[in-house]
Amino acid sequence: MFLLVVLAGALTVVYLLTLWLKDWYSFWKKMDAPYEEPDLFYGNLTSVAKKMDHLGGSMQKIYEKFKGRAPFVGIYMFLKPAALLVDLELVKNVLIKDFNYFHDRGVFYNEKDDPISAHLFALQGPKWKLLRNKLSPTFTSGKMKMMFPTIVDIAKRFEATIDEVAERDADLDIKKLMARFTVEVIGVCAFGLDCNSVADENSEFYRVGLSVFSNPRHSFPVDLLMIAYRELARKIGCKRFRDEVSDFYTRVVKSTVSFRTANDVHRHDFMELLIDLYQRQDDNKITFNELLAQAFVFFIAGFETSSTTLQFCFYELAANPDIQTKARNHINEVLERHGGDLTYEAMMDMKYLDQIINETLRLYPPVMSLFRETDKDYPVPGTNFILKKGVTVLIPAFAIQRDPDVYPNPLKFDPDHFSEENMKGRTPVAFLPFGEGPRICIGARFGMMQVRVALITALRKYKYSLSPKTKSPLELSKNAFITSPVGGIWLNVESL
C-alpha cells in the first residue's frame, strides 16, 4: 500500500509539473504572437543542447520558416521566453534606433567570483556606458596607425615561420599558424609583452589563450543555461572561465602593472590607457579587477576571432584558386604603387582584400547570434505586440548573412557581394560580424587591421591548396561558442 501511495504521489507531481510547463510555454500563445512550438525543458534549443545542430543552423531554420510572416517569432531558451527577429527593419530598430530599450546583451558574467568575466562585452547599463567612453580613445584611426609598425615587425617574423612550414612540405593546421601571429600581436599591443608565439608554439600565452575556447569550463548548452538564468547562476557562484585561465591572466596583468608603475614605463598601447585609468583619483578611476577584465577580453577576443576569421579565409582561398590568385596579384600591384613597402596607406588601399575578409565574415560570422535584453516594455512598431521587460532578443546573424534575398547565391564564396555597387542600398544590419549600433565591437578597427596584415604577409609569396585531411564540405562545430570547423582546416603551402 505504501509503495502505491508513493507511486501515485510521484505520478501526481509529474502530472502537475507537466501542466505547469505547458502553461509556462504559453507565454507567446497568450500574446497571440507567432511562435515556434517548444519541447519540454529544452524549449527551442533541443537540437543545440543535444549537439544535433549549432545555434546558427538551429535559428536559421526558424528564421526561414517565419521570415515575411511577422517581424519576430516567439521561442524559448529552455524555459525563458525569447524573441527571434526575422525582419531587418526590426533588427535595425533594436540595434540602433531604439537602442535605449535594448542596451544590454543579457549575457552571463560574475564580477564577484569570476572577475575576468565582467568585461566590456558583458557589462550592463550605466557601468557599460561609462567604461565604453573611457576605453574608446584607444581605438581611433590615429591609434591604429601608431600600432601599425609594431604589427608589421611581427609580420616579418611571421613570414619566416611560414617559410619553415613551406620547407617541411607538411599538412598545415592553418588556425594554429594564424593564432601564433594574432597572439603575438595582441600580446605586444595590449600588454607590451613579447609572447614569443610566432617562433614558439609552446609559449604559455599561446597555449592558455587557445585553451579558453578549445577547452572551456562548460559545454555550450551549459553556457546558454547560464545566459538564460544569469541571476541564479551568479547566486550559486557559477564561473565562466577555468581557474587556470583566470590565474594566468591575473598573474600576467599584476606583474605588468607592477613593473610599469615601479619603473615609470610608458608605451602607446592598451595597457597604458588602463593603467592611467587605474591610477586616477577622480570619477574616471577603475579598479584593478576592472582593469584585469578589460585586458583579458581584449586579448581573448582579439586573437581568437581574428585567427578564426583567417582560417576560414584561407580555406576559401585554397578552395577557390582563381580568387586566391586575384588577391595575390592585387596585393603585389598595390605594394608596387606604394614603393614596395607595406605601409598603413598601402594596406588601406587594398580594397579587394577587404571584400575577401568581409565575405569570409559573412559566411562564417565568429558569433552566430547576437543577444540583447529588453530593458523595458517595447511596443513592436507596426504591430500590437509588446516585448516585455526581461525578454531576451536573438538576432540571427548567421541566418541573415546567408539569406538569398539579401545575398544572391549565399553559399558561394563571392567577394563581389561586397563590391561598392552591391553594397549600395543594402541595410547595414544585413552584415553583423561586429554587431551594430552603440554596442558595435569596440575593437573592430584593430581586428580588421591585424587580419589584413596577416593576409598580406601569408599570401603575397605563398600558394595554398586543400589537404585531404580537411573535411569537405566543411562542417561547423555543434558545441562551440565561436564558429569553428569540425576537425580543423588543414592546408598545403608552397613558396612561390
* Residue list, annotated binding site for heme: 441
Please tell me what DSSP assigns to residue 36: P
Question: Helix, strand, or coil here: 298?
Answer: helix
Each residue of 174-196: b (16+ CB within 10 Å) or e? Answer: bbebbbbbbbbbbbbbbbbbebb
Each residue of 205-243: b (16+ CB within 10 Å) or e? Answer: bbebbbebeeebbbebbebbbbbbbbeebbeeebbbbbe
The three cell numbers of residue 430 are 544585413
| All residues at 6 or more sequence positions from 258 whose CB lies less than 8 Å from its CB, including other chains | none
The number of residues in the chain equals 496
Binding residues: 441
| All residues at 6 or more sequence positions from 113 whose CB lies less than 8 Å from its CB, including other chains | 234, 237, 238, 239
Q: Say if residues 253 and 292 touch (Cβ distance below 8 Å).
A: yes
Q: Say if residues 437 and 96 touch (Cβ distance below 8 Å).
A: yes
For strand 462-466 and strand 490-495, is the pairing parallel, antiparallel, or unpaired? antiparallel
CA dist list (Å): 377 to 70, 73, 386, 451, 461: 19, 17, 6, 40, 56
